A and B are shown apart, each in its own frame.
Chain A
Amino acid sequence: MTLITCRDAAFGYEGSTAVSGLNFEVRSGDYLCVVGENGSGKSTLIKGLLRLKSPLAGSVSVGGGFGAGKIGYLPQQTAAQKDFPASAYEVVLSGCLSARGILPFYSRKDKDTARKNIERLGIEPLCNRCYRELSGGQQQRVLLARALCSAKMALLLDEPVAGLDPLVTRELYRLIKEINRETGLTIIMVSHDIHSAVKYASHILHLKTKQVFFGSTAEYLNSDVGRAFIGGHYQAEGDRDD
């Protein structure tokens, strides 16, 4: 089942185009990684897929009921959030809000959903802790649990490992892959960590203010653009080690 189809779509801010020439499809159960350098339009694309922005050109059609009530979203954190006085449980539970509609309070079912996702991510001990006192990795886990509460169909993640140490990063990637495999949830992730992208994702979308590659990970590894990007990064990391 095809969830998202982009045809010559373009997205941008206040009239200026950030990314254009988008032609790709996302099917149910896919693990799509959107890669590219800073400023290549990755986050803008995610905002477009979430319908926080409408396309400047082309079309984005959705299928299978993909829409606001079915998506989980892990945004990049803002400074205001980092010192927000809320317990981890309150944050996770707020992910159930999309299913509430007009009703004012959470139902028992919502609370069960929150509990279930808290257990899945192993953050029970953090439930009553204050969000601002958690470490970066713990905060990301809490936000991921919140995203899972609203994710019935797809999970969109914007740089989920930004600012995390290597160990926590690997753990988070493993967790996301596990969720993708076990629940069949479609994953769309923005990342500039190309090595993890090709390790875990089933499809790659490479952006450089316009689309330069879309296809399966195996195709990407054999393409010129893929080889150049990965090679370049190996080079850069090699330099750093010296």
Chain B
Amino acid sequence: MISTLLEMFSYAFLVRAVVVGVLVSLCASLLGVSLVLKRYSMIGDGLSHVGFGTLAVATAMNAAPLTISIPVVVLAAFLLLRISENSKIKGDAAIALISTSSLAIGVVVISLTTGMNTDVCNYMFGSILAMSKDDVTLSVILAGVVLAAFVLFYNKIFAVTFDENFAKATGVKTGIYNMMIAFLTAITIVLGMRMMGAMLISSLIIFPALTSMRLCKKFKTVTLCSAIVSVVCFSIVVVLSYIEATPTGASVVLVNIAAFLLFWLVSFAKGRIRK
């Protein structure tokens, strides 16, 4: 086991993938708690589709993917947030509209330029080889910002997540915190997208929060637990996908499903014992 791990970490690309993956999982799970509880899970999904579209356009233009993806996805995040705030039902449909449109644009742009090749498949379902040095730098910065934001604004994030109207009525600038969460979510998604795949990245946001909510009864423990679950799941996947050569993105989703079922079973058993 140890020799396998040592062997793994002798590959520079794998070290990069592990660093980016762990940090992105951590950020996604923290942001996910707030997004899931605010019923904004679909925003995460919508953003990843927008991200796919921007990747396709960036490839067609021969530009660095991050320089196009980050601003466009951040803009989309603010837009989706606005739509969701105004009306719940319309917002739902609007998110579906935006995600399918960007997916369609991406696919058309790709087939007009490079054609459907392995690159496209990698965008959709992720590749562990995709991480560059820049990605590592950016994800370290991002993780620092998300962690700092979570520690410093923890109480405000709780208040805004639990009851936005109350928070606003008592003088908390809820708009700023919503935008902060949307902004950080957008960056997390862009970073994680190429490793996890545009179709699968939203699982990183949604699963850990849902999993820890099976067992945890306090906001603080839900937040901590989902961070731990997310990082542990990703670490398991890295080793698994190294040994068995399984695709990273899909394996992360499967391991997260297993964790979810495990937590659900334990909470079910606990409920039974109490009765």
Interface residues of A (CB under 8 A from B): 47, 50-52, 67-69, 71-73, 75, 78, 80-81, 84-87, 90-91, 93-95, 97-98, 100, 104-106, 129-130, 133, 146-147, 150, 156
User: Beyond A85-B216, A85-B217, is A73–B166 a contact (Cβ under 8 Å)?
Assistant: yes
* Chain B neighbourhood of A130, CB < 8 A: 217-218
Is B158 an interface residue, CB under 8 A from the partner? Answer: yes
- Give complex CA distance A147, B158 in Å: 16
| Contact present for A146 and B166 (CB under 8 Å) | yes
Is B113 an interface residue, CB under 8 A from the partner? Answer: no
A47, A85, A90, A98: most-surrounded residue (chain B CB, <10 A)? A85
Question: In the complex, what's the smallest C-beta–C-beta distance from B45 to chain A, in angstroms?
Answer: 18
| Contact present for A104 and B171 (CB under 8 Å) | no
Q: CB within 8 A of B162: which of A52, A69, A94?
A: A94
Which B-chain residue is minimally distant from A78 (CB atoms)? B163
Is B167 an interface residue, CB under 8 A from the partner? Answer: yes
| Contacts A/B (CB < 8 Å), 21 sampled | A51-B169, A52-B168, A73-B166, A81-B162, A84-B162, A85-B37, A85-B213, A85-B217, A85-B219, A86-B218, A87-B219, A90-B218, A90-B219, A97-B159, A97-B170, A98-B172, A104-B151, A104-B153, A130-B217, A133-B217, A156-B169
Q: A94-B163, A95-B170, A105-B155 known; 17 other A-B pairs, CB under 8 Å?
A: A67-B171, A69-B171, A71-B170, A72-B170, A80-B37, A80-B38, A84-B37, A90-B158, A94-B166, A97-B159, A97-B170, A97-B172, A100-B155, A104-B155, A130-B218, A147-B166, A150-B170
* Chain A neighbourhood of B38, CB < 8 A: 80
Please classify how large the interface on chain B is, using the bins under 10, 10 to 19, 20 to 34, 35 or more.
20 to 34
* Chain A neighbourhood of B166, CB < 8 A: 73, 75, 94-95, 146-147
* Chain A neighbourhood of B162, CB < 8 A: 81, 84, 86, 91, 94
Which residues 118-169 of B sit at the A interface, judged by CB distance below 8 A?
A: 151-156, 158-159, 162-163, 165-169
* Chain B neighbourhood of A87, CB < 8 A: 217-219
* Chain A neighbourhood of B163, CB < 8 A: 75, 78, 81, 94
Is B220 an interface residue, CB under 8 A from the partner? Answer: yes
| Contact present for B169 and A69 (CB under 8 Å) | no
- Give complex CA distance A95, B167 in Å: 8
Which A-chain residue is minimally distant from B86 (CB atoms)? A14
B interface SS class: helix
Is B229 an interface residue, CB under 8 A from the partner? Answer: no
| Contact present for A90 and B220 (CB under 8 Å) | yes
Is B39 an interface residue, CB under 8 A from the partner? Answer: yes
| Contact present for B155 and A106 (CB under 8 Å) | yes
Q: CB within 8 A of A94: which of B37, B159, B216?
A: B159
A interface SS class: mixed
- Give complex CA distance A226, B151 in Å: 53
Which B-chain residue is minimally distant from A129 (CB atoms)? B217
- Give complex CA distance A129, B218 in Å: 8
- Give complex CA distance A51, B168 in Å: 9
Q: CB within 8 A of B170: which of A47, A69, A80?
A: A69
* Chain B neighbourhood of A81, CB < 8 A: 162-163
Which A-chain residue is minimally distant from B219 (CB atoms)? A86
Q: CB within 8 A of B158: which of A47, A73, A78, A94?
A: A94
User: Beyond A69-B171, A80-B39, is A85–B155 a contact (Cβ under 8 Å)?
Assistant: no
User: Beyond A80-B39, A85-B213, A87-B217, is A71–B222 a contact (Cβ under 8 Å)?
Assistant: no
Question: In the complex, what's the smallest C-beta–C-beta distance from A13 to chain B, in angstroms?
Answer: 11
| Contact present for A104 and B218 (CB under 8 Å) | no
Interface string of B173-206 (1 = CB under 8 A from A): 0000000000000000000000000000000000
Which B-chain residue is minimally distant from A96 (CB atoms)? B155
Question: In the complex, what's the smallest C-beta–C-beta distance from B121 to chain A, in angstroms?
Answer: 37
- Give complex CA distance A86, B163 in Å: 12
* Chain B neighbourhood of A150, CB < 8 A: 170
| Contact present for B155 and A97 (CB under 8 Å) | yes
Which residues 215-243 of B sit at the A interface, judged by CB distance below 8 A?
A: 216-220, 222
Question: In the complex, what's the smallest C-beta–C-beta distance from B275 to chain A, in angstroms?
Answer: 14
Question: In the complex, what's the smallest C-beta–C-beta distance from A35 to chain B, in angstroms?
Answer: 21
Question: In the complex, what's the smallest C-beta–C-beta distance from A204 to chain B, in angstroms?
Answer: 23
* Chain B neighbourhood of A93, CB < 8 A: 155
* Chain B neighbourhood of A78, CB < 8 A: 163
* Chain A neighbourhood of B219, CB < 8 A: 84-87, 90
Which A-chain residue is minimally distant from B167 (CB atoms)? A97
- Give complex CA distance A68, B171 in Å: 5
- Give complex CA distance A90, B37 in Å: 15
Which B-chain residue is minimally distant from A158 (CB atoms)? B165
* Chain A neighbourhood of B153, CB < 8 A: 104
| Contact present for A75 and B159 (CB under 8 Å) | no
